[in-house]
Amino acid sequence: MSDNPSYKLGQFIDIYCRYCRLNLDAVVASMNPDGTLAKVQCRTCMHFQDFKPPADLQEKHRKLVEKAMKIAEKHTRGPAAAEAKAKKDAAAAKTSAADLRPEAVMRRLWDEATANVSPMKMKVYDKHRSYHKDDVITHKVHGLGVVVRDDVEYSMTVLFRDQVVELDCDQPRED
């Protein structure tokens, strides 16, 4: 007898769907003359495909993580470079805590304010628009900035990467 179980047309079986990239149910669509499966149809995406037995998804995930780690290691030039970078970052944190120059403080504030900024929430600067505190704007000369003060009429203070700038806002349009 064969090691393969006997299949019938229309029977539900488990497969690895190459389109859905998951282990899913399928229907036997065609068989070879020797009784092996030729084609199956995924019941989720309805694609016809060659039979592929269910995959070990944990093993597949482990291999993907391993591959990602190799790529990351290649880009950081090995584990020794990662350790050196960690030491350098720790030393920089110590020196930056002691570095209270206005430029360094301003840069740290800008980094913190723009760390988790979504490009979808940025506003393009226009002197006719109104802005509020903590709005993120893009300026064609200064770049990315965060509104830090908007309490003065027709004016706002914006923190950019290298400087703090007073910009016009809410200006009436000249028709």
Instruction: Work out the percent of the chain whose per-residue pLDDT is above 90.
Output: 23
pTM of the model: 0.41
Q: Which residues contact 62 (CB under 8 A, 6 or more apart)?
A: none
Domain ranges of the chain: 12-55, 59-98, 113-168
Helix/strand/coil percentages in the chain, nearest 5: 30, 30, 40
Q: What are the tens digits of pLDDT across the range 36-71?
A: 999 999 999 999 999 999 988 888 888 888 887 777
